[in-house]
Amino acid sequence: MSDELVQIETPFAFNEENQREFDELIGRYPIKEAAMLPTLHLAQKQAGYITPAVMKYVAEQLEVTVMKVKDVVTFYPMFFEEPVGEYVIRICHTLPCALRDCKVVLEHLKTKLNTDVASETNLAKGTTVDGKFTLMKVECLASCDVAPVIMVNDDLYKNLTPEKVDEILAKLTS
Amino acid sequence: MVEERRILYEHLDVPDINTFDVFRQYDGYARFEKAIAEYQPDDISKMVMDAGLKGRGGAGFSTGLKWSFVPKDIEPRYLCCNADESEPGTFSNRYVLEKNPHLLIEGILICCYAMGIETTYVYIRGEFTLGKKMLDAAIKEAYENGYLGKDIRGTGLNVDIYSHPGAGAYICGEETGLIESLEGKRGQPRNKPPFPAVEGVFSKPTVVQNVETLCNLPFIVGNGVEWYTKMGPTYADTRSDPPTPDPNTGTKLYCISGDVNEPGVYELELGLTCSELIEVAGGLRGKEVKAVIPGGSSAPILTHYELDTRLDFTSLTLAKSMLGSGGIIVMNETRNIVDCLLNIMKFYAHESCGQCTPCRWGTPWVRDIVQRIADGNGRKDTITRPKFGVAENGRWGDTGETEEIYEDLDLLESVANNIANVDTMTWNTICVFGIAVSWPAVSYLRKFRPEFEATIREGKLVTLPIAEATVPPEENYAYQQRFVPKEFADLEQPSEE
Ligand SMILES: Cc1cc2nc3c(=O)[nH]c(=O)nc-3n(C[C@H](O)[C@H](O)[C@H](O)COP(=O)(O)O)c2cc1C
Ligand code: SF4
Ligand code: FES
């Protein structure tokens, strides 16, 4: 990644609270690089998604190359390299949820939000025009007993039906 | 009916059991105190070995044996607790983390004491935000109360526990993938050997253990080996002379989902049968059981002929399947096996880490073949070829009959078996993810071949009645071992007092 590219982005640095958390994190491991995943989670929480500037900053903090950070970011589905909606809706579509009709819930979400499902390389495809929601399919969320399930940001919603989806969306948009 | 036997989950629903004070009221940390007061570290290892504890994360490897491989002269050593729980159909670790995190901490403490370990990382899958929050809070409390940190309870024992979040990759559940991920890299599994016990995280000896395995430790120490081994069957492995005991002791947190009335986690002694478990889970939702996946999506499928199979490590291995993570997925008569396989293959094609060519290319290839079949475009050879077999004259040769060739089915089996061969149990890949792909692919195909054939023939998804869809065990060599268990011919249960 050339320096020129990086400079177009607004530079990134941890705010005070996250800096404190980062300092604590780094002490947990014998090598700095091991703090990579928690650091990226922290940075994503602050910046919304992983921009080139974030990668550069994280690389500096952990004393590794930017390429190494990029390498990690591209491997894990939970790190976004594009902007996402305020609420990220993850719908599980693996077998136990499929046996409990997750398809109905998915179709309902698609019509209600009037959007397609995001793909890993095209998050915009699943993001609503107003930038409020991003809809994506994920694999088993380890809640198959209460299938079908969705996660909205950090919260899990269980035993979903189209009616329950309506309630959830109404609460989020109000 | 089989009764639930709640040990690990006994106090799960006690209000505020996630707090230190309430946990203390229910024997919390007393078992750890007993361990440090009454036993030497080696005694604990011996107890775990004698108890016959097998890993609950997937491989079912003897925990005591794993501990014995750890070199005691290399410092520091690490413990990694595997809380990545991503195997489809598995959800028991989640409840431990969310509701009773102190139990896990106590288990970790006992393991650390036995192995002389000072640092533990709990690798929690990224989506478990609540679980991580609860565990972090419990860890904080344990530090405040002097059960973690330096010089615990004045014994000179130092233990630190850190939680470490994953980021949505299934393969980080594989122990060496977990280690790579913990080191801040892509979670791509390593070649073994060296095994993690010898050279793991930060190139130091590392014990990797599932949440449930660790949660068993307080009860083994607290109630004793004799009490523990009374739960679950111990078989006699007659491959050696004299026969060696093959323990399937303890309870299992069976996770049951799919077509049952009350899906959930049921803690039961190992060794109940598949149909008994379905009964416990409120019975079947539907008319008849068509198929059961006994150990997470990686496990070969069981047909309705096999519902009397006992759900323990040994019995399922003999049935050419596995207990795996204990995630049981039930399917009723309305389910289409081709469709189910497609769902699972999409999962694996998405989750391959991409290091090994057979897995990186083979898995999407398998998915595409199944997709093609499900879409109604499965390839069938229109020419019929002579069927070879034992002819009328008693010799091998042309039987005079003809058979249709389902090209895509042969291709499916061949591609899957070239990722990992399920008959010889050899794999062309770095990790056993390869087996996790070909096991379902080949077993679904062999056991439900008529449904695949009908789907290709009709050009659309066809769900056959169970009796027609299933290949009877006698005709299917995938079942062979179950009916000719040569090495285990005299497999017996010792009398239970
Ligand atoms: C593809 C793959 C995924 C796995 N996922 C998990 C998992 O999510 N949780 C787990 O505990 N073990 C998982 N395992 C098993 C681990 O490799 C390892 O055997 C286990 O953590 C050891 O702990 P145990 O002996 O206590 O079971 C997985 C294995 C493979 C091959
Ligand atoms: S078998 Fe698949 S998942 Fe395992 S290391 Fe190879 S490519 Fe990765
Ligand atoms: S399959 Fe959806 S939570 Fe497990």
With CB atoms and an 8 Å threshold, state whether B263 touches A144.
yes
| A26 within a domain of the structure (yes/no) | yes
Picking from B147, B63, B59, B58, the residue whose alpha carbon sits closest to that of residue B103 is B147
Residue B237: predicted pLDDT: 81
Q: Which amino acid is at B373?
A: I
Q: Which of B69, B104, B174, B192 to mutate to test the pocket of ligand 1 (most atoms within 8 A of CB)?
A: B174
A93 and A161 part of one domain: yes
| A81 within a domain of the structure (yes/no) | no
Write out the E strands in B84-199.
119-124, 149-152, 157-165
Domain ranges of chain B: 20-230, 246-332, 337-389+402-480
Tally of CB atoms within 10 A around A136: 20
A112 confidence band (pLDDT: 50, 70, 90):
very high
Chain-centre distance for alpha carbon B186: 23
A63 and A134 part of one domain: no
CATH number for the region B337-389+402-480 comes to: 1.20.1440.230
Low-confidence residues in chain B, pLDDT < 70: 382-391, 399-400, 402-403, 476-497
> Poorest-confidence range of A89-93, A148-152, B389-393?
B389-393
A127 and A61 part of one domain: no
Residue B485: predicted pLDDT: 36
Q: State mean pLDDT over A40-49.
A: 96
A107 and A168 part of one domain: yes
Residue B496: predicted pLDDT: 43
Provide the CATH number for the domain around residue A55. Answer: 1.10.10
Domain termination residue (choose one: A27, A43, A75): A75
Domain termination residue (choose one: A31, A54, A75): A75
- Can you give the residue range of the structural domain that contains A16? 3-75
Instruction: Report how far residue A43's alpha carbon sits from residue B412's, in angstroms, rounded to the nearest whole number.
Output: 43
Return the C-alpha torsion angle A54, A57, A59, A63, nearest 10: -160
A62 and A16 part of one domain: yes
Q: Does domain B20-230 have CATH number 3.40.50.11540?
A: yes
What stretches of B247-312 show up as alpha helix (H) in DSSP?
274-280
| A80 within a domain of the structure (yes/no) | no
Ligand 3 pocket: which residues have CB below 6 Å?
Answer: A 92, 94, 96-97, 140-144, 147, 149; B 88
A91 and A168 part of one domain: yes
| A82 within a domain of the structure (yes/no) | no
A169 and A92 part of one domain: yes
| A132 within a domain of the structure (yes/no) | yes
A63 and A122 part of one domain: no
Among the CATH numbers 3.40.640.10, 2.40.50.140, 3.10.20.600, 3.90.1300.10, which is that of B246-332? Answer: 3.10.20.600
Can you tell me whether residue B270 is helix, strand or coil? coil
Residue B489: predicted pLDDT: 40
Q: What would the DSSP string read from start to end of B55-83?
A: -SSSS--BHHHHHHTS-TTSS--EEEEEE
The conformational region for residue B376 under phi > 0 = left, psi -120 to 50 = alpha, else beta, is: left
A5 confidence band (pLDDT: 50, 70, 90):
low
A12 and A71 part of one domain: yes
Calculate how far, in angstroms, residue B173's C-alpha sits from the geometric centre of ligand 1. Answer: 5
Residue B165: predicted pLDDT: 97
With CB atoms and an 8 Å threshold, state whether A78 touches B167.
yes
Q: Which amino acid is at A14?
A: F
Contacts of B404 (CB under 8 A, 6+ apart): B380, B381, B384
Atom of ligand 3 nearest to the CA of A146: 3
A63 and A115 part of one domain: no
Domain count, chain A: 2
A69 and A98 part of one domain: no
In chain A, which residues have their Cβ closer than 8 Å to the Cβ of B183? Answer: 31, 33-34
Between B85, B94, B169, which is nearest A77 by CB? B169
Domain termination residue (choose one: A48, A75, A102): A75
Residue A60: predicted pLDDT: 96
Residue B242: predicted pLDDT: 85
A106 and A169 part of one domain: yes
Provide the CATH number for the domain around residue A168. Answer: 3.40.30.10
User: Which of A22, A37, A40, A119 should one mutate to test binding to chain B, selecting the residue with the greatest count of B CBs within 10 A?
Assistant: A37
